[in-house]
Structure 1
């Protein structure tokens, strides 16, 4: 039987890799819904139908009943969310309500990409930024739709994803890609103070492996997908081996986050890649 799968944010960093993996299975019919805010048409992959638009308009834009919706298409930057609060609300709050109503109407499963920021600093991180609060409260709404309307759901949490197709430059650049770009240009690596904030960097391949497993077999909350190895931002910069420039502290920048992977590991997932090896590979290829 053909399985129809909708990926919101399917032209983004994580979404494009998910679409690529799903589309390799000939029994899958894969669709992407993306507004191209941070997604790119350069990330399009073969055998995927691309639909442009907002998730808040999902009911108007999607005319079929999917078997599962992977809802990845939300605003996803911490520090920048203070300046972009209108976009955060539009993409995250208006979007989640529309997507949940859509899956309720069609009786399909939703896999929601939550944010590990809500576990930051012993749980204090959930309200530390507009981004963190919208993501934390969205997970509660997903759970409530499950309880109120029997919507089948699974909630995953990513931990600092890195790998091909990361955004390399500009306001929304991700850390590892930004460091690679600075190394290529022989620039100093900039670190937001204090530099001791720890992160669990997780390769995109490991994220996709987890998403596929949870999409097939996971139900409920707390499906963390993250490397058990934690490094400070300063330690990561030192692995790159360039001169470091410290920047002033910024709001919303958590110090730690608990990594909860037990439920994902119970499905057969385990991390296979390490950030140290990735940086060494990047060095060997002149930061490509």
Structure 2
């Protein structure tokens, strides 16, 4: 019997890579549910069935019983969430309730992609933005469904993912892709003040290794998937070597986040890629 795997957000940056890896195994039937808010049909890969719609409507849209659900399909930007609070609520709050009810009735395991903002600034980061708060409280609801209804779950936390298929421009662009795009155009690298805020940048392949490992073998909370190497945003800009333009401070911008990877490493995971190598490989082509 083939294993039926549903990935919410399967047309997004991380989700498309997860779809691609899982679909390479002939023992898997892989399905994606995505509303294409930040996902793209350009990210579609072979041997995946794509279903369009919101996670809030998962019960109507998914006509089969999966063996596993990877729930990645949520709103995932910090600073922008202040302006998008209606979307944050719809995609993160209405969505998580519908998905948890779906997996409870299906009797399958859920891997929930939490947010490392929960650990930011010694725990104060969990309420620093609408995005951070919804993600932090969603992890509590996932755990409660495990306790209330015996729903098997694992909760992972990503740390600043970079690599192919990142969003390169516009309101939802991610930092490394944004810097790459600005370098190509000869534009200054814009940094939100003070620039000393530190991040742990993790390559997409390392994230996918961790997701699959935790999906298959992990149960419970605190499966962080992040590189131990931390750099300030200024240090990252200096690696690229471009001109730097400082922007005013913004709400919700945490200074540090503890990397919680011990439980993931205990399963055999280790990051294999370094940000500096990735940036050097890119700048050598300019």
Judge same fold: TM > 0.5, yes or no: yes
Q: Distance in 1 between matches of 2:34 and 2:260?
A: 29
What is the Cα deviation at residue 285 of structure 1? 2.5
SS of 1:16 mapped into structure 2: helix
Match of 1:232 in 2: 232
Q: Which residue of 2 aligns with 1:221?
A: 221
Instruction: Say whether residues 1:124 and 2:124 are aligned partners.
Output: yes
CA deviations on 1:135-194 (whole Å, 9 max, x unpaired) are: 000000000000000000000000000000000000000000000000000000000000
Partner of 1:175: 175
Q: Which blocks of at least 5 consecutive residues in structure 1 are unaligned?
A: none
How far apart, CA to CA, are the structure 1 residues paired with 2:202 and 2:4? Answer: 28
Correspondence for 1:54: 54
Give me the whole-angstrom Cα distance separating, in 2, the residues matched to 1:118 and 1:32: 27
Partner of 1:2: 2
For structure 2, the 5+ residue unaligned runs are none
Q: What residue in structure 2 maps to residue 71 of structure 1? A: 71
Q: Which residue of 2 aligns with 1:203?
A: 203
Distance 1:240 1:195 in 2: 15
Aligned residue pairs, count: 286
Partners of 2:193 and 2:284 in 1: how far apart?
Answer: 29
Q: Does 1:284 align with 2:284?
A: yes
Structure 1 residue 283: deviation in Å? Answer: 1.0
The aligned runs of 1:1-288 (5 Å cut-off) are 1-286=1-286
Match of 1:246, SS state, is strand
Distance 1:124 1:222 in 2: 17
Q: Equivalents in 1 of 2:263, 2:198: separation in Å? A: 23
Q: Distance in 2 between matches of 1:284 and 1:151?
A: 49
Q: What are the superposed Cα offsets for residues 90-148 of structure 1, whole Å, 9 maximum, x if unpaired?
A: 00000000000000000000000000001000000000000000000000000000000
